[in-house]
Structure 1
Amino acid sequence: MVSPSSWLSRYQSGQRKQVWHELRQLGGRVREPEFAQEAQLVCDEMARRARHNIELIVDRLSNDGYRFHANNDDQTPMQAHIPPTPASATYADWLQQRFDTVPMTLMSWIRIVGDVWLVGTHPHWPTSASADPLVIEVERTGYPPESSMRAWLERRTDVPGTSDLFELPLAPDRFHKENTSGGSPYGIVLPDSCADGSFTWDTPMPFVSYLNWVFSNGGFPWPSGDDAQWDVRYRLVKDLLPL
């Protein structure tokens, strides 16, 4: 393996896929002292790039007259991006204490990115909510972990064989985003000692891979059936950074 001391510089120079491959190959060993600090620096850089992308997308949508709103009949206005608050570090510490190991990418997201909610309606693309707009909510009260955790703990007690793994909910699924009946929330599996976490949506995939797919489509990765999507997407993806 290439020296871990070069991970960040290689990541910044464009060797992102290779660096993520090396980090994932380590599995839980990435927590060992010789790897952990440099691995966390890579995850922090990923989060800074993700925040750059989110701020660009939100700014462009706002300039278009996009209405960010809840996935309910009233279309309650929502704040699209909530940067990390003073409580973010406390919440990250709570997750770490509760689950022992939390993916480094999720910890970086909590500390650097914050919460994002792109569900809404575009004036020139009325079916935008059908395109599975990006939502990652870790702190916002829309998806508190306590109720989900209580149900999980009860299942572990009452149902023999219940998995020790917990899926921390981070977003409604694509059907609920457009205010229709759907499935389980998207989330990330805990505990996990790896650098990058397993993101569960239609199918499990690495969290960073999911984010790259979403950003490559301007934050709206699912085809909505409206040709207007592609014009909006073309403008949204400009200057977005790969993770």
Structure 2
Amino acid sequence: MSQDAEDILGGLRASPLFAPDFPKRARCSIAAWALLPEGERRALDQASGEAMERARTAYRPWEEGVRTLGKARYTPAIPLLAQLWRDCALMPVRASAGHALLAMDDPAAYDTLESLIEDREAISIHLGIRAVFRRNPLAAFDQFAPLFTAQDITAVTIGHEALSLFVPSIVLADGTPCWIESEAPSWFKQDPRWLALCAGLCRDERLGDPARMALCHADPGSALPALEAARAKRPPPPPPATRAIGDLVARYRAGDHLGTWREARAFPAIAGDLRAEIAALAGETMLRTARNVALISERLQRAGWQSLGFMRTLPEPADAARIAAIEQMTGARLPPSLDAFWRVVGGVSWVWDCDRGAGPVVADLPLAGIDTDALLIEPCSTIESFCFEVWEEQKDVVHPDLIGPFRLELAPDRLHKMQVSGGPPYAIELPFPGADPLFRQEDHALPFVDYLRDCFAWAGFPHLKHHTDQAAARRFVGILGRGLEPF
């Protein structure tokens, strides 16, 4: 095998992968990536597309050769694999190089993987974390522990992925869980600090998901005492604010749209007279939103637009009972902003139906062929039956702290809107005791009302903000968005 491995190594060295003009991967940290505008992100990703175009019919043997070197644990290949891992823009080959380095079980290979643990690509983070554990699982907690108290995006991203290592990657048909690292359950058990950490993070907004899921698959005899100990240390939630401000609606009608909502959101939890006042504020807001939805829907319809579903779904009398059922399931009132949207606006979908062909050109803009992230908010009538089965399953756990927030999925993500495989749906987490929850998974993670504002600033197609260099896009927003009411 040694000679075969040397031949593979020589073939890779002589391949176009190492030609001076072959596209190189642009490195970027998690923190730097988070600050980049969409256009600069696309520019950094351009090398990957160019590499695939150049090597589309040739890369399979390179990919297989790299895998073979990893399976053979051919350590003389580590420098070449490290170079591919750092610089190769051809993703299938780079991914194979990373896995080959991990398979080497060699300190130099682990060094290479750990050096890119803060890289913005998910596979870099994932393999870097696995290298830390494989090198010394008993020392891994000390290395990762500072991440779980930090608040920056790098710490949260790596911390989330580290905890996810203890979560099964798949569950077989017979119910058997399987971990991507077969030793992960024993690593979790060997160091009891992981158990205590996860118990303490169960209610954490950003790390709660993997913490809860790891505990669900831990030994109940150890997990339950840890959960009770963490609960005993947790301070009780503050009582909701109940005293009305008194002038929110009057100020809103006078034009203070931003200030009134900013003040309403300042309360972590609301009830009583304050909730009633904020509900009235939300009603005023959604009256304007409904008129905007009707106006744009009419203009799109005249232009021949065929949306995926009804452009506007009006509220139904049965919605009140549906809302009550969701509130009973989650144990709390709906946030006023969403409650008012469903009761006043209903639902909206301006996503082009790709089965209808290329679509009309509106204001000289071929809208159906552009990633616009068109506004879509599911009406109440489509939510109830879809979500209840999933939510019921969450309640069948051994401890109440292992029940995560209920995710109310309100829209597909921007790629699914183009009928391309994408990410998780845009959603609101319930219960939410305040006025206006975050619209999660969407790029900006804005409060729901602000998300709607951002959509209408671009005539219902918010990703047109990335096409402002096109005169047709600017003209489209000007024509379709003419006369919209501020809210």
Q: Does 1:115 align with 2:347?
A: yes
> Retained in 1: the 8 A contact 2:244–2:277?
no
Structure 1 stretch displaced more, 217-226 or 96-105: 217-226
After TM superposition, the structure 1 = structure 2 runs for residues 152-171 of structure 1, keeping only pairs within 5 Å, are 152-154=391-393, 157=396, 162=402, 164-171=404-411
RMSD: 2.4
Deviation string 1:127-171 (CA, Å, 9 cap, x unpaired) is 336201100003343xx4544443355356469875521110111
2:414 to 174, 177, 181: 174
Aligned CA distance change for structure 1 residues 204 and 60 (closer, same or farther; 3 Å) = same
Query: 2: distance between equivalents of 1:212 and 1:185?
Result: 19
What amino acid sits opposite 1:193 in the alignment?
P
What amino acid sits opposite 1:107 in the alignment?
D
What amino acid sits opposite 1:234 in the alignment?
G
Q: Relative contact order (alpha carbons < 8 A, sep ≥ 6): 1 or 2 greater?
A: 1
Bigger helix share? 2
- Alignment-derived partner of residue 90 in structure 1: 321
Bigger strand share? 1
Structure 1 stretch displaced more, 35-44 or 216-225: 216-225
TM-score by length of 2: 0.44
- Alignment-derived partner of residue 75 in structure 1: none
Query: 1: distance between equivalents of 2:324 and 2:298?
Result: 31
Q: Does 1:41 align with 2:272?
A: no
Q: Secondary structure at the match of 2:247?
A: helix
> Retained in 1: the 8 A contact 2:397–2:403?
no
> Retained in 2: the 8 A contact 1:53–1:241?
yes
Query: 2: distance between equivalents of 1:17 and 1:189?
Result: 23
2:259 to 2, 18, 22: 18
- Alignment-derived partner of residue 40 in structure 2: none
What amino acid sits opposite 1:55 in the alignment?
A
Q: Does 1:188 align with 2:428?
A: yes
After TM superposition, the structure 1 = structure 2 runs for residues 123-162 of structure 1, keeping only pairs within 5 Å, are 123-124=361-362, 125-128=365-368, 130-141=371-382, 144-154=383-393, 157=396, 162=402
Q: Secondary structure at the match of 1:205?
A: coil
Percent sequence identity is: 30
Aligned CA distance change for structure 1 residues 67 and 159 (closer, same or farther; 3 Å) = farther
Deviation string 1:203-234 (CA, Å, 9 cap, x unpaired) is 42200110100011000000375653322211
- Alignment-derived partner of residue 73 in structure 1: none
Q: Does 1:59 align with 2:298?
A: yes
Query: 2: distance between equivalents of 1:227 and 1:239?
Result: 20
Q: Does 1:105 align with 2:353?
A: no
Q: Does 1:219 align with 2:465?
A: no
Aligned CA distance change for structure 1 residues 166 and 20 (closer, same or farther; 3 Å) = same
What amino acid sits opposite 1:8 in the alignment?
V
Query: 1: distance between equivalents of 2:284 and 2:402?
Result: 36
Structure 1 stretch displaced more, 45-54 or 218-227: 218-227
Structure 1 stretch displaced more, 81-90 or 144-153: 144-153
Q: Secondary structure at the match of 1:199?
A: coil
TM-score by length of 1: 0.85
Query: 2: distance between equivalents of 1:146 and 1:171?
Result: 15
Shift of 1:93: 1.4
Structure 1 stretch displaced more, 220-229 or 108-117: 220-229
Shift of 1:185: 0.7
Shift of 1:65: 1.9
Structure 1 stretch displaced more, 172-181 or 87-96: 87-96
Query: 2: distance between equivalents of 1:122 and 1:139?
Result: 30
Query: 1: distance between equivalents of 2:319 and 2:244?
Result: 32
> Retained in 2: the 8 A contact 1:118–1:134?
yes
Deviation string 1:85-123 (CA, Å, 9 cap, x unpaired) is 121111111122222131101111111110101012433
Unmatched runs of 5 consecutive residues or more in structure 2: 1-242, 353-358
Rg larger in 1 or in 2? 2
Aligned CA distance change for structure 1 residues 147 and 39 (closer, same or farther; 3 Å) = closer
> Retained in 2: the 8 A contact 1:145–1:168?
no
